[in-house]
């Protein structure tokens, strides 16, 4: 694995150098010397990383114990910034597809820019490279924001003018397990959290068993994520009413994203806010969800990163829709990036780094479960020693 990592890292640097080189440079030794110092060119490197989860993670439809991740690093004029693509299987991206995409960024986008402050134009060019690859795009966007924040010497919540005190507590997911003992162990481990998130959408018996096990131990408020798992709107509404009586405060994606009319029917009758996750990938999805959901869950890996996430906040506010920020299983790089918009949301589900046993960075801190945005440049990241080579 380390050989492969080294190769990919080297491949990234070599491709960057090749893309920056022009035939005319062969005869222009002074320009070559300038380019060799290279400090005003945007340089992109990356490294594949396997996120190991503390527990087997089960949601409606799948189980897994690790998540493939690619960590990126952008360098310019002696400054650097880190980014991340995290790829749960349902997203349709892999480390290989992210590596291929990043090679295209190095060859086709970065040579056109020598100024990282042009985030709008750079990310518009990155977005045009393909229709999908949203996690790969996010890995460039996040590194670019970290880089620019580091150059300016300010965090993004501050550049955007947000009040860090407005950031909510994060929820912490207690994943499904068939064993009562394992669920009880997870409840014990989650005792620090102010908001428990539970993934439902299994059978009625198993869904109610999970909630009853938690309620036997604690009355901490619960957020529900059905992950499209409920198949019938009447059943879904009955479940929501049952949950409403058990100190639950919101429902994420009760039914398939293909059943928007059924979801709208539920939303109209639900005593709890109904929030779009799988139904809401990018900015352009939001207008059609107005009326069908009370709000949206923004995730950087779906929406291509911080630039578009900030725009989604503005559009959702304009449409009077509620806001949530969520995550995949991610390291502190992407979690700290998502946390920058936390002051603008009602619910935050930024526990991805806590679910990892091998986080390679320190970043956003939780204090008594509350997202705490520090006054540190960029995303406020510190690389932990000995885990990745970037
Ligand atoms: Mg969800």
Mean pLDDT of 194-214: 95
- pLDDT at 9 > cutoff 50: no
Q: What is the pLDDT of residue 88?
A: 83
DSSP string over 284-309: GGHHHHBTTBSEEEE-HHHHTSHHHH
- pLDDT at 197 > cutoff 80: yes
Q: Please state, for a pLDDT cut of 90, what percent of the chain lies above it.
A: 81
**Gap from CA of 368 to ligand 1 centroid (Å):** 23
**Gap from CA of 349 to ligand 1 centroid (Å):** 9
**Gap from CA of 253 to ligand 1 centroid (Å):** 7
**Longest alpha-carbon distance in the chain:** 76
- pLDDT at 32 > cutoff 70: no
**Gap from CA of 288 to ligand 1 centroid (Å):** 19
**Gap from CA of 209 to ligand 1 centroid (Å):** 20
Strand partners, 57: 64
CA 371, 374, 378, 382 dihedral sign is negative
Q: Whole-number mean pLDDT of the chain?
A: 90
**Gap from CA of 277 to ligand 1 centroid (Å):** 5
CA distance 305 to 317: 18
CA distance 292 to 315: 16
Mean pLDDT of 280-299: 98
CA distance 45 to 42: 10
- pLDDT at 12 > cutoff 70: no
**Gap from CA of 73 to ligand 1 centroid (Å):** 28
**Gap from CA of 262 to ligand 1 centroid (Å):** 18
Strand partners, 48: 70
Mean pLDDT of 289-318: 98
Quick one: how far is CA 354 from the chain centroid? 13
Q: What is the pLDDT of residue 15?
A: 42
Q: Which fold has domain 24-154?
A: Enolase-like; domain 1 (3.30.390)
- Tell me: the pLDDT tens digits for 326-346? 999 999 999 999 999 999 999
For residue 277, give the DSSP letter: S
Mean pLDDT of 169-189: 92
Mean pLDDT of 46-51: 97
- pLDDT at 34 > cutoff 90: no
Nearest to 40 by CA among 84, 79, 76, 94: 76
- pLDDT at 62 > cutoff 80: no
Q: What is the pLDDT of residue 53?
A: 87
Neighbour tally for 212: CB within 10 Å: 10
- Tell me: the pLDDT tens digits for 125-138? 999 999 999 999 99
**Gap from CA of 89 to ligand 1 centroid (Å):** 14
Q: What is the pLDDT of residue 176?
A: 86
**Gap from CA of 340 to ligand 1 centroid (Å):** 19
Contact residues for 172 (Cβ-Cβ < 8 A; gap 6+): 190, 192, 193, 195, 196, 197, 351, 354, 369
- Domain range annotation of the chain: 24-154, 158-383
The residue with greater pLDDT, 28 or 287, is: 287
The domain 158-383 having CATH identifier 3.20.20.120: the answer here is yes
**Gap from CA of 228 to ligand 1 centroid (Å):** 9
**Gap from CA of 322 to ligand 1 centroid (Å):** 15
Q: What is the pLDDT of residue 29?
A: 34
**Gap from CA of 189 to ligand 1 centroid (Å):** 21
**Gap from CA of 102 to ligand 1 centroid (Å):** 27
**Gap from CA of 278 to ligand 1 centroid (Å):** 7
**Gap from CA of 145 to ligand 1 centroid (Å):** 25
**Gap from CA of 268 to ligand 1 centroid (Å):** 20
- pLDDT at 177 > cutoff 90: no
**Gap from CA of 10 to ligand 1 centroid (Å):** 36
CA distance 209 to 385: 42
Residue for token pair 């949601």: 59
Nearest to 136 by CA among 80, 194, 72: 72
Mean pLDDT of 279-305: 98
The residue with greater pLDDT, 260 or 21, is: 260
Q: How confident is the model at residue 44 (pLDDT cuts 50, 70, 90)?
A: very high
Residue 300 Ramachandran class (φ > 0 left, ψ -120 to 50 alpha, else beta)? alpha
Q: What is the pLDDT of residue 175?
A: 85
**Gap from CA of 326 to ligand 1 centroid (Å):** 7
**Gap from CA of 156 to ligand 1 centroid (Å):** 25
Model confidence pTM above 0.85 = yes
Structure tokens belonging to residue 28? 């222009």
**Gap from CA of 225 to ligand 1 centroid (Å):** 5
Nearest to 307 by CA among 148, 131, 80: 148
Structure tokens belonging to residue 367? 């204090």
- pLDDT at 151 > cutoff 80: yes
Contact 258, 232 (CB under 8 A): no
């Amino acid at each position: 694995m380390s050989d492969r990592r080294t190769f990919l890292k080297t491949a990234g640097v070599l491709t960057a150098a090749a893309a920056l080189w022009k035939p005319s440079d062969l005869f222009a030794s002074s320009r070559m010397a300038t380019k060799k110092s290279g400090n005003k060119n945007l340089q992109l490197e990356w490294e594949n990383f396997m996120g190991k989860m503390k527990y087997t993670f089960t949601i409606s439809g799948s189980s897994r114990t690790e998540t493939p991740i690619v960590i990126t690093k952008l360098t310019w004029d002696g400054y650097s910034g880190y980014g991340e693509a995290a790829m749960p299987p349902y997203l349709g991206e892999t480390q290989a597809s992210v590596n291929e995409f990043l090679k295209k960024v190095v060859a086709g986008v970065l040579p056109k820019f020598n100024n990282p402050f042009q985030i709008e134009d750079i990310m518009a060019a990155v977005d045009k490279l393909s229709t999908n690859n949203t996690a790969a795009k996010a890995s460039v966007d996040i590194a670019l924001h970290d880089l620019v924040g580091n150059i300016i010497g300010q965090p993004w919540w501050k550049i955007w003018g947000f009040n860090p005190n407005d950031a909510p507590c994060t929820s912490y997911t207690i994943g499904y397990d068939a064993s009562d003992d394992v669920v009880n162990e997870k409840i014990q481990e989650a005792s620090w959290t102010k908001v428990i998130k539970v993934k439902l959408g299994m059978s009625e018996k198993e869904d109610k068993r999970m909630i009853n096990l938690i309620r036997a131990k604690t009355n901490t408020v619960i957020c529900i994520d059905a992950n499209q798992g409920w198949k019938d709107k009447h059943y879904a509404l009955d479940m929501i009413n049952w949950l409403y009586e058990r100190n639950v405060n919101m429902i994420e994606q009760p039914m398939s994203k293909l059943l928007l009319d059924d979801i709208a029917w539920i939303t109209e009758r639900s005593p709890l806010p109904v929030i779009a996750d799988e139904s809401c990938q990018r900015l352009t999805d939001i207008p059609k969800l107005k009326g069908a959901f009370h709000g949206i869950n923004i995730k950087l890996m779906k929406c291509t990163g911080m630039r578009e996430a900030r725009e989604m906040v503005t559009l959702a506010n304009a449409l009077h829709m509620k806001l949530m920020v969520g995550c995949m299983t991610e390291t502190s790089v992407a979690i700290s990036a998502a946390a920058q918009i936390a002051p603008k949301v009602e619910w935050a589900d930024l526990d991805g780094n806590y679910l990892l046993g091998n986080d390679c960075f320190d970043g956003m801190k939780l204090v008594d479960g509350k997202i705490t945005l520090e006054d540190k440049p960029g995303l406020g990241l510190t690389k932990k020693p000995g885990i990745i080579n970037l």
